[in-house]
């Protein structure tokens, strides 16, 4: 398992891939407001964990396991964020900040239970897809259903 700091780098890489197609050290540093040496250190750690492929001065590519882990990290954030914003009715900015802090300390089991609770409270039971954060279910359908309800 990787550290929470490395999870943030991986998540950022995944987002950049979706937004721009290519992932570069400079883009990561700019997005995360950190130095290029910090990014390079993280890249080497992620590469050692077989989560990315990277050659110096080239583009960064997520491996299948790297992409799956990044999706899982985003999913955990989404579930906690939705709980704070739509169930607890916190202001958007507060919900975002709190979700970022809290999701990093919750286990997969807790995230799974929280997701089921959010589905129930927001009347999304008709999805009934046996939510499991490790299987990337509901990310799109939950967010789209919630957007339509709120």
Residues 94, 143 share a domain: yes
Residues 57, 78 share a domain: no
Average confidence score pLDDT of the chain: 81
Residues 130, 77 share a domain: yes
Tell me how many domains the chain contains. Answer: 2
Structure tokens at 84: 């704070």
Residues 35, 75 share a domain: no
**Measured distance CA(20)–CA(98) in Å, rounded:** 27
Q: What is the pLDDT of residues 97-122, one digit of tens each?
A: 898 888 878 888 888 888 888 877 77
Q: What is the pLDDT of residues 38-59, one digit of tens each?
A: 999 999 999 999 999 998 888 8
The predicted model scores a pTM of: 0.73
At 131, is the pLDDT very low, low, confident or very high (cuts 50, 70, 90)? low
Residues 77, 49 share a domain: no
Among 45, 62, 79, which residue terminates a domain?
A: 62
Check residue 27 and give its pLDDT: 92
- Answer yes or no: are the C-beta atoms of 61 and 54 closer than 8 Å: yes
Task: Supply the range of the domain harboring residue 142.
Answer: 71-149
């Amino acid at each position: 398992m990787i550290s929470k700091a490395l999870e943030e780098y991986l998540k950022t890489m995944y987002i950049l891939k979706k937004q721009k197609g290519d992932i570069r050290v400079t883009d990561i540093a700019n997005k995360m407001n950190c130095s290029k040496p910090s990014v390079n250190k993280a890249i080497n750690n992620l590469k050692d964990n077989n989560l990315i492929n990277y050659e110096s001065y080239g583009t960064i590519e997520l491996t299948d396991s790297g992409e799956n882990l990044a999706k899982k990290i985003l999913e955990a954030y989404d579930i906690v964020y939705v709980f704070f914003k739509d169930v607890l009715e916190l202001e958007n900015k507060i919900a975002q900040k709190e979700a970022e802090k809290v999701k990093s300390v919750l286990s997969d089991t807790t995230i799974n239970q929280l997701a089921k609770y959010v589905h129930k409270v927001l009347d999304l039971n008709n999805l009934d897809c046996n939510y499991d954060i490790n299987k990337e279910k509901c990310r799109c359908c939950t967010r789209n259903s919630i957007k339509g309800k709120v």
